[in-house]
Amino acid sequence: MWNLREQIAVAAVDEGEFSLASEHIAALQKQFPDSIRVNRIQGMLLEAKGQYAEAIELYDSLLKKDLANVAIMKRKVRQQSPFHCI
């Protein structure tokens, strides 16, 4: 069930269904409050909403917990790229 919620949250972010994504992310965060994976999806939602500074701030805090997390590092680098809107 939780894998399905994660997939729906990511798909909702991709499709611009921000309220649906927020609903599933909130349920995931309640079940897994310290999950870097769930927080990565939250960062993706922030990116999709154009809240880039907040997304980078979230990614920075996640990288402090796990500096070797390649998925988070890639998302952060993408946001800092001058071509991230392309």
Instruction: Report the distance separating Cα 84 and Cα 17, nearest Å.
Output: 21
Instruction: Report the distance separating Cα 1 and Cα 5, nearest Å.
Output: 6
pLDDT of 72 reads 84
Q: What does the pLDDT look like over 33-45, one tens digit per residue? A: 999 999 999 999 9
Instruction: Report the distance separating Cα 19 and Cα 24, nearest Å.
Output: 9
Instruction: Report the distance separating Cα 10 and Cα 8, nearest Å.
Output: 6
Could you tell me the domains of the chain? 2-80 (1.25.40.10)
Residue 3 has pLDDT above 90, yes or no: yes
Output the pTM of the full model: 0.84
pLDDT of 80 reads 67
Q: What does the pLDDT look like over 6-27, one tens digit per residue? A: 999 999 999 999 999 999 999 9
Specify the 3-state DSSP secondary structure of 26: helix
